[in-house]
Amino acid sequence: MADNQEITGPVSQEDIEAAEKLKNEANEYFKKQNYNSAIEFYSKAIEKNPKNAVFYANRSIANLRLENSGYALTDASKAIELDRSYTKAYYRRAAAHMSLGKYKLALKDFEYVTKVRPNDQDAKMKYNECNKIVKKIAFEKAISVDKKEVNIADTINLDAMTIEDEYEGPALEDGKVTLKFVTELMEFYKQQKKLHKKYAYKILIDVKAYLQKQPTLVDIKVPDEAKFTVCGDIHGQYYDLMNVFKLNGLPSETNPYLFNGDFVDRGSFSVECIFTLFSFKLLFPNHFYMSRGNHETVDMNRMYGFRGEVTSKYTSQMADLFTEVYNWLPLAHCINNRVLVMHGGLFSKDDVTLDDIRKTDRNKQPPEDGIMCELLWSDPQPMAGRAPSRRGVGCQFGPDVTANFLQRNGLDYIIRSHEVKNDGYELAHDGKCITVFSAPNYCDTMGNLGAFITMNGKDLKPNFTTYEAVPHPDVKPMAYANSFFSMLCQ
C-alpha cells in the first residue's frame, strides 16, 4: 500500500471533510462485510487526509478480516505513529501480531495500554488474557522439549478403549476403513453425531503411518482418458464438502481427488471434514491426495478454531496428535510432470526446482521463510516481480516469476488455493497460475461461490464447476476459535 509515505504539509479543511465522508462510506461497506470495498474507501480517505489515525486503524481491521495480517500490522503501526494515545490502534496491532503467531509482541501492546491507562479495566483484562496465552505456549514448549522423543501416536493404547453398547455409529472393519464405513460416517456426521474416539484415534495413527512414507512432493499419474479433480480450501464447511461429492461423485479409484490444503479452521465442522477426508485417504491411498495448507499448523489451529473444536469434541491429546499428522502431509503434488499443485504459491528466489521441493524437510511447523513457508503462504500479484506479502508471511509473485518457474521446471501451469475468489476460482498470469477455492460463502459472510477443477490426463485442460453454499446446522463459523482473538477482531 503506497499511501504510507511521509506526510508533509497541512491538510485543507475541504480535504478533511471529504475524507470524513469517504470514511463513513467505508464504514457502511465494513458493516455489510464488504471488506474489499471498505479498504478501497478507507484508502481514498487516507489520500485526502493522511494525518487521521482512525482511517488507518479502520483499514487495519478490514485487512485483518481478509487475512491480510501484514497490511493490518502496517496500518495499525501507522495509526499509533500518528496518535500515541489511540488505544484502539494498539488493540488492532495486537490482533495482527496474534494472527501472525507473535503473541509476545501483542502482549507488549497491551502492556503499554495498561501503563498509560492504569484504570482501564478492559485493557487490564486483555493484557491478562494475552499473558495467559504467552505463558501457556511457553509451558507447552517446555513440555515438548522434555517429551521431544515421544511420539503421541506411539502412546495411544487403542486396546484400552472400549466401544460402549450404546454407540450406534459406523465401525471400522478389522481395524480398517471400508466404503461402508465412510458412507455411514458421512451420514452420521450430517446428523451432527460423533465418531467413537477409538475409531478416530485409529484413523489418525494409520494416516500418520502412511504419510510418513510419502515424499514431500508427490508425483501423480493420470491416464489419458481418466478424470482428475482438484479442490481448494474447505475450511471446516462440512455440508459444502458433501455438496462437492454430490455434484462430482464420491472419491473412488475411477474418480480420484486432490484436496489442496486448509481442510480445517474457521468453519465449525472441521473435525467432520478432516475425518471424512482422512478416511478416503486410507480407503484409496493412490487415488485420493491431500496437500498441507497454512492452516494445518499449530498457530493457525490455536487461533482459528480447530484446536478448540478437537478439544471440545475429543481431547487436547488428540489435538496434539493432529499436529503430528499434519507435519507429514505432502507440500505439493505434480500431475503428469506438467501441473504443479501447492496450497500457497511460488518463491522469493528464482532458482527453485522440483528437486528442491522434493528435498525439503517437512516434518515440522513451517519456518518464517524459505521453500516450505512459501509453498504454504505465497500469493500471486498482477504486476511483474515480487513484493512483500500482504499477509506478513511468504511473498507475492508476478507473471514473470510464474513464467520463469514453469520454463525452468518444464511445467504447463500451477494450481494453488489459499485465497477467497468471488467465482470460486481465478485465472492469473496468462492462465498459467490458477487459484481454486472450494468453501462457498466463506465464514458465512463472504458471499463467494465455491469451485473445483476437473481435467483429463491427456490434455490436463482445467474445467471449472462452481456452486453456491448449502444450508448447515446453526453453528456459527469460529464457534471454537480463541475467544480472546475473536473479541480483538470486533
Among the listed residues 97, 295, 333, 472, the single catalytic one is: 295
Better pLDDT: 222 or 4:
222
pLDDT tens digits, 402-445: 999 999 999 999 999 999 999 999 999 999 999 999 999 999 98
CA-to-CA dists, residue 431 to 434, 461, 468, angstroms: 7, 11, 24
- Tell me, letter by letter, the H, E, C secondary structure of 317-364: HHHHHHHHHHCCCCCEEEECCCEEEECCCCCCCCCCCHHHHHCCCCCC
Is the separation of the CB atoms in 61 and 23 below 8 Å? no
Q: What is the DSSP string of 258-289?
A: EE-S--SSSSTTHHHHHHHHHHHHHHSTTTEE
Q: What is the pLDDT of residues 326-382, one digit of tens each?
A: 999 999 999 999 999 999 999 999 999 999 999 999 999 999 999 999 999 999 999
Whether 48 has a pLDDT exceeding 80, the answer reads yes
Output the pLDDT for position 391: 95
Superfamily of domain 154-486: Metallo-dependent phosphatases (3.60.21.10)
Active site residue 295: yes
Query: How is the chain split into domains, by residue range?
Result: 13-143, 154-486
Spatial contact of 434 and 415, defined as CB atoms under 8 Å apart: yes
pLDDT confidence bin for 399, thresholds 50/70/90: very high
Model pTM above 0.85:
yes
Cell (9 digits) for 249: 461423485
CATH code for residues 13-143: 1.25.40.10
DSSP code, position 233: B
Q: Write out pLDDT tens, residues 193-215.
A: 999 999 999 999 999 999 999 99
117 vs 468, residue with greater confidence: 468
Q: 367, exposed or middle or buried, with CB in 10 Å at 0-12, 13-18, 19+?
A: exposed
pLDDT band of 308, cuts 50, 70, 90: very high
- For every residue of 425-480, DSSP letters joined together read EEEETTTTEEEEB--TTGGGTS-PPEEEEEEETTT---EEEEE------S--TTTT
- Among all chains, which residue has been given the C-alpha cell 500457497? 344
Q: Cβ atoms within 10 A of the Cβ of 372, count? A: 20
User: CA–CA separation, 71 vs 60, rounded Å?
Assistant: 7
Given a cut of 50, is residue 181 above it in pLDDT? Answer: yes
